[in-house]
Chains A and B, each alone.
Chain A
């Protein structure tokens, strides 16, 4: 089977697409089209229906009604195999790679071999090199995927689609995991592909990327089409307004920081990661009262392990952590909480909440064992309910009732509840890991305001984020981590995206 010999598609239309899930109208009569040679951006907040729409295009869901038309022919995709056969390729946000297999094996998976039942990985590798050459997608076909950087893994995903002769590529938030420089390299590749006659759909909520890369942009909101516009006629503010449905502040007004005494001090910290190798290496940083220190870095460079050490979930192998003057290097999570630290965990569904518990139960996860929430081990549900109602009201958490299982809430509302639970203890130190990942702009804005309120109140905040825009909007100082090492700390006011990007790619700060 020679997959690349197929006629490339010229135009794909999705007409009046309706898709319902229990309790949610995810796509409500959406129209969308893309042509060969263009980059068409699909813009919308989390939950706006972008991914649902694209999953139907890729055969993962079937539309309840509406049509997919390729070059004038209506098509029905029962499964991804049908979509692939029609020339559609998808680069998922969470990579669809088998990490224990090599690059060539991942590319060859599911395809017929030129040697019948036997694998022909040498020939596959040869073709991969050809494609990689043409589109600037450098990667070693014999490397095992888990050893590759995130940027390289993304290249493998693109190669997988190209190898299958995809003429339409859907990229789901492809820059979320890249450094600014890697994102620029990706854009060069994508432009080259569009010039070669590929049709590209670029899903994003990063406005500057949409403006920099796309020819047209379609905005979705709450499952409905807002409109399709030529990108050249739009500004950042226009797009933000269309996406959110109201005017959005893209920057925060912050009074200058007035840092006080040192609250959190990390000295020469080492920690071993899940793979048994050092994930945090000789890392030192201080966070003072009344300041936000941002820790920037590309995903997987030791941020997660550092956050786990700081919250007592992982034991450091060397070094020292001091919290409000106390040595907490080997302290348990409970001891750290008692010492005035709170944490907003990176994976909220795994370590932030118990997803099958109600909002109410999640609201007292840390404090259930003392008064007023319980007395002699018996829970006082009157007090707990009253407390939860206060949190829900104070933090504008949208939930049907306090008894609703928390997994039924949107990501933004779950995050607001976690924030409410943690901040109501009046912490002196906050460890916030990816506090707005997967959260819509409205809720992000709200969470950012709350964190800045804490800063004004004199709390010391360590903000760990892979979103450079977030880091720059909130931080007073920015630290950069690469392969577990501190690359430098710069003043947020003078840091440029270029200098941060270089540090994120492993260049030490030069001063």
Chain B
């Protein structure tokens, strides 16, 4: 145990935790917007896979990472629009249509990967950007301020999302539509427009979440590479009490435990690797059972709105 808890190792775990938290932050912040407006998008995982594939494919054939990122965001927007159409316009059962979207993304990304790329290749993704001065802070500087751009943006997204939700007229509309759509409708707020907007934005962020894996963190694409991260992101929204700062806390806790178990394996400590891999997921279940305060859940979550229904 002693070799695990040395300062360099702990800093390494912090560094990895921050990296690992990145896709969760994008996906969960996007999902927070959707859920605050009352739409439950369980298809985040499928959108992430499509985003990861698209970013990787476009970046490898064009050689332009930014183009890949943009394409992933675009595909995310389209899939978000699809989810919005199914759940807002067609008023489908959201849990079920989300599962459908996940399977669609999984199948399509696998098919496209096999027909266009065939095998596993890697690319040179976004490189770390050392932030001057801050990265020179003793001890913590390197762990916190020597990451690639997508990592920084993910963490900046938290205060921005918090500001939009709590301090803007748009955020007020989103919160109202998620709590009591009939009241918002009676004041001339278009419930449909707001929900389309949030679910589409959520799709964009889920697409970027996927891209952050394939062209910034892991720098390759393989079948089902997200491996449940989209579902964990949905759970983090609940864990965070539908608030961006809470989501950040959940994402960091989960990612740090994940980083810890990776170090345990690397360090060769006697612990069955399957059990180590389970740790973060077990933690998620326990944390969800303990931490979720249902009172904070948007009252209209996953309920389609129809005018005139009491």
A338: interface (CB < 8 Å): no
- Which residues of chain B are within 8 angstroms of A99 by Cβ–Cβ distance? 179-180, 299
The contact of A98 among B169, B170, B171, B175, by CB within 8 Å, is B175
- Which residues of chain B are within 8 angstroms of A339 by Cβ–Cβ distance? none
**Complex: chain B residue closest to A55, CB-CB:** B308
- Would you call B176 and A101 a contact (CB within 8 A)? yes
Q: Contacts A92-B186, A118-B168 given: A109-B308 contact, CB under 8 Å? A: no
A366: interface (CB < 8 Å): no
Which of A84, A90, A117 gathers the greatest number of chain B CB atoms within 10 Å?
Answer: A117
Give per-residue flags for B124-153: 1 if the beta carbon is below 8 A from chain A beta carbons, else 0: 000000000000000000000000000000
- Which residues of chain A are within 8 angstroms of B182 by Cβ–Cβ distance? 96
**Complex: chain B residue closest to A108, CB-CB:** B172
B188: interface (CB < 8 Å): yes
A32: interface (CB < 8 Å): no
A176: interface (CB < 8 Å): no
- Which residues of chain B are within 8 angstroms of A160 by Cβ–Cβ distance? 187
B185: interface (CB < 8 Å): yes
B102: interface (CB < 8 Å): no
- Which residues of chain A are within 8 angstroms of B308 by Cβ–Cβ distance? 55, 60-61
Distance in Å: Cβ of A156 to nearest Cβ of chain B = 11
**Complex: chain B residue closest to A81, CB-CB:** B188
How far, in whole Å, are A92 and B171 apart by their CA atoms in the complex? Answer: 24
How far, in whole Å, are A128 and B207 apart by their CA atoms in the complex? Answer: 43
- Would you call A96 and B187 a contact (CB within 8 A)? yes
- Would you call A110 and B175 a contact (CB within 8 A)? no
* Interface hits, B170-207 → A, CB 8 Å: 170-173, 175-176, 179-180, 182-190
A143: interface (CB < 8 Å): no
Give per-residue flags for B9-44: 1 if the beta carbon is below 8 A from chain A beta carbons, else 0: 000000000000000000000000000000000000
**Complex: chain B residue closest to A61, CB-CB:** B308
- Which residues of chain A are within 8 angstroms of B190 by Cβ–Cβ distance? 79
- Which residues of chain A are within 8 angstroms of B189 by Cβ–Cβ distance? 109-110
- Which residues of chain B are within 8 angstroms of A105 by Cβ–Cβ distance? 172, 176
Distance in Å: Cβ of A501 to nearest Cβ of chain B = 29
- Would you call A100 and B179 a contact (CB within 8 A)? yes
- Which residues of chain B are within 8 angstroms of A119 by Cβ–Cβ distance? 167-169, 171-172
**Complex: chain B residue closest to A79, CB-CB:** B188
- Would you call A118 and B187 a contact (CB within 8 A)? no
B310: interface (CB < 8 Å): yes
How far, in whole Å, are A80 and B176 apart by their CA atoms in the complex? Answer: 16
A393: interface (CB < 8 Å): no
- Which residues of chain A are within 8 angstroms of B180 by Cβ–Cβ distance? 96-99
Q: Contacts A109-B172, A113-B169, A117-B168 given: A98-B183 contact, CB under 8 Å? A: yes
How far, in whole Å, are A95 and B307 apart by their CA atoms in the complex? Answer: 15
- Which residues of chain B are within 8 angstroms of A113 by Cβ–Cβ distance? 169
Distance in Å: Cβ of A122 to nearest Cβ of chain B = 12
Interface size class of B (residues with CB under 8 A): 20 to 34
Q: Contacts A100-B175, A101-B179, A109-B176 given: A80-B310 contact, CB under 8 Å? A: no
A112: interface (CB < 8 Å): yes
- Would you call A108 and B183 a contact (CB within 8 A)? no
A246: interface (CB < 8 Å): no
Distance in Å: Cβ of B136 to nearest Cβ of chain A = 36
* Interface hits, A99-150 → B, CB 8 Å: 99-101, 105-106, 108-113, 117-119
Distance in Å: Cβ of A141 to nearest Cβ of chain B = 14
The contact of A109 among B187, B307, B310, by CB within 8 Å, is B187
How far, in whole Å, are A259 and B171 apart by their CA atoms in the complex? Answer: 60
Distance in Å: Cβ of A492 to nearest Cβ of chain B = 34
- Which residues of chain B are within 8 angstroms of A106 by Cβ–Cβ distance? 176, 183
Distance in Å: Cβ of B141 to nearest Cβ of chain A = 34
Distance in Å: Cβ of B178 to nearest Cβ of chain A = 9
Distance in Å: Cβ of A246 to nearest Cβ of chain B = 30
How far, in whole Å, are A235 and B310 apart by their CA atoms in the complex? Answer: 34
* Interface hits, A158-173 → B, CB 8 Å: 160
- Would you call B179 and A112 a contact (CB within 8 A)? no
- Would you call A100 and B299 a contact (CB within 8 A)? yes
Distance in Å: Cβ of A276 to nearest Cβ of chain B = 9
How far, in whole Å, are A95 and B183 apart by their CA atoms in the complex? Answer: 8
How far, in whole Å, are A96 and B182 apart by their CA atoms in the complex? Answer: 7
Q: Contacts A108-B172, A109-B176 given: A98-B184 contact, CB under 8 Å? A: yes
The contact of B185 among A61, A80, A101, A108, by CB within 8 Å, is A80
How far, in whole Å, are A58 and B179 apart by their CA atoms in the complex? Answer: 22
**Complex: chain A residue closest to B308, CB-CB:** A60
**Complex: chain A residue closest to B179, CB-CB:** A98
- Which residues of chain A are within 8 angstroms of B176 by Cβ–Cβ distance? 98, 101, 105-106, 109-110
Which of B167, B176, B179, B185 gathers the greatest number of chain A CB atoms within 10 Å?
Answer: B176
- Would you call B167 and A84 a contact (CB within 8 A)? no
How far, in whole Å, are A113 and B182 apart by their CA atoms in the complex? Answer: 22
- Would you call A94 and B187 a contact (CB within 8 A)? no
- Would you call A109 and B168 a contact (CB within 8 A)? no
Q: Contacts A94-B310, A98-B183 given: A80-B168 contact, CB under 8 Å? A: no
How far, in whole Å, are A436 and B182 apart by their CA atoms in the complex? Answer: 26
- Which residues of chain A are within 8 angstroms of B310 by Cβ–Cβ distance? 94
Give per-residue flags for A281-312: 1 if the beta carbon is below 8 A from chain B beta carbons, else 0: 00000000000000000000000000000000
Distance in Å: Cβ of B71 to nearest Cβ of chain A = 28
Q: Contacts A55-B308, A100-B299 given: A110-B184 contact, CB under 8 Å? A: yes
* Interface hits, A6-51 → B, CB 8 Å: none
- Which residues of chain B are within 8 angstroms of A92 by Cβ–Cβ distance? 186
- Would you call B188 and A84 a contact (CB within 8 A)? yes
Beyond A98-B180, A110-B188, A119-B172, 12 extra complex contacts between A and B, CB < 8 Å: A60-B186, A60-B307, A94-B310, A96-B187, A98-B179, A99-B299, A101-B172, A109-B173, A109-B189, A117-B168, A118-B169, A119-B167
The contact sample of 25 A-B pairs, CB cut-off 8 A, is A55-B308, A58-B186, A60-B308, A80-B185, A80-B186, A85-B188, A92-B186, A96-B182, A96-B187, A98-B175, A99-B299, A100-B175, A101-B172, A105-B172, A106-B183, A108-B169, A109-B172, A109-B187, A109-B189, A110-B173, A110-B184, A110-B189, A112-B169, A118-B169, A119-B172
Pairs A-B, 9 closest by C-beta atoms: A81-B188, A96-B183, A110-B187, A96-B186, A110-B189, A98-B180, A98-B179, A98-B176, A117-B168
| A residues neighboring B (CB under 8 Å) | 55, 58, 60-61, 79-81, 84-85, 90, 92, 94-101, 105-106, 108-113, 117-119, 160
